[in-house]
Structure 1
């Protein structure tokens, strides 16, 4: 819950920055990478394999345009660039960090462009002046298809344009006017695709923020729908969901203990002090109950009115009685004044405890009935007590399938 709240705060702060910056706050950026990184790797792997196939298919163009160094083209494309590209695909399969992932993609784009320019500058074929035009495809692929993160796209595009400018400037067969025109076309293509790259990444990130905001809102509403609005404990709907999880068709996988807690003489408290004070009293008791839970397998619910229910997974009767006694004692020691009680000066609780072993034939309804019967006996025998009492819990734990119909011999109490 705290993580969700922190994420919501980071999300709220990140929305204003999306007007210009592409990077989120550190926490949100880490969450963004965690959720989108695997899909990003899959996208790059698919694009990379398709692009590598097309890149090697350009051997057909090499055979027609630069036949004098076709053997060199075979070595460069199949013996150098292809293994490097496959190595990068293998790196992506390991789901590396965002920096390694994006840097590797920018690097292979520059390597591909360099291989084309190397072949262009090496050949003496009269048709070589048509060979270098494919460089624009490399820029287009890196910035729009791969969608390199913008800083890496800028770095790769700058490197490719710089190499291209140097290469065509040293091509004697290419007139200077044509070389200038080619450089300007490639530069313009790089700028246009970088603008598209920036817009695509910005829209993708804003879309992620909106989806995350909707998901957090749904989670919050879902949490509220399962939470008692007064006490913050689970409500009956959440209790039903939890019981369904604990009771598959084969019965509970682990021992389940249940404690049913009832506030003694709460009606007189509510009538005497008023409903607002009654609400505060229930909130205080709920907090005391929650404070006695010991782990994720212990859950507390508001069962209705002034009744609460505690479910403990993997806990036998003896330990459950011990926790119930701690809850009773915590409420008693809180000394919440109750001058309208007929027998006690402060608010107290009565608790009925029941347990069922793993793979038991008892249903969750049986367990609730047993806990309710134990609570009834606790109230009949004077309130402010736990039933069954501690000295009988071990005996009952040895015979968990018996109905809890033992009399209560509780602690001394100021209640009746």
Structure 2
């Protein structure tokens, strides 16, 4: 197999075939991850349109909260998806898990695209939406851990931090494309057209892209770490036991939860749901808010490699600490700064996302470095998906609900909640061991 771990001997040029294989591998990982995140993000981007199309129009505020509630419900399936695809990834192969996850996500996107309106079939429209989101939750619960594990295992040990940035770079690329489509559609389509069919087009695009990615991933080669570990299983190794593996790695699993709880909240708020929140609550024009989302996420993507390189030089723990402490200190000022102008939204999003990028850039590497090869996928998948479901999945709902519950103090109350969780993550960073450059075989 040709992977990133196979480098040419000094003084020789890398064979063209090897370079093409590496490029195709990275493209397959990145594209599939982007499609998954695209499917996930366009729901938040078009939440206000989904609310009016698939829920009763009698109470618009209630319909919007119900739409965000289903966004949160979709996260509930993620731990189950993490367990299911994690087992597949550790027993059958990382490639198989990644391929199956993107296929399921594409089907969920297609289902949303073709769901009849509430006016046509009543509450069944909401039920179908719920089913589709649960399927996508299963898929996304398996996609990230499988892709993170695969990428970490094929990357050079001394550059694993840099290569791990592909996960959030490609993922946020999907978010940017979804937000960009929202901005373009709101400019070229009338409000009536958007509510009628415009919001469905991105979901149909997601389904088609998922089919393309499915074919790409089916052609990838398996991780060398996995194949070597699988070969050793047939040479007298103990029979795999999910319970025994979890008990043996319960401390790393708890560390994954601690690391994730804080960053998942601020990431989903500032990268995904803030433009929709600005449209529905702060009444910033939709086109302005969506273009701000595109610009801020492009800055986020550009900063990821810088953080990744820094972690390969000074270590994972210092970079994560800088990210969490900086985001904690700026959360309240950034939230209160956003009022009714697009430029306020842009400044706050960029500042917060640059700090959040420090943790996001290297999280895939850190999670992979906590676990042995035999349980690396499922070991990170279940606790990670649990944390994202419980905290990330409810973030957008709580943000909107705080505005309803506390009025003008809503932003402050939600920020206090986010800061507490980030401090928990910072304490976890203090407790873990430095893992920069370790050999994953060990």
Same fold (TM > 0.5): no
For normalisation by structure 2, the TM-score amounts to: 0.22
For normalisation by structure 1, the TM-score amounts to: 0.23
Rg larger in structure: 1
Q: Which has the higher helix share?
A: 2
Q: Choose between structure 1 and 2 for higher RCO, CA contacts under 8 A separated by at least 6 residues.
A: 2
Q: Which has the higher strand share?
A: 1
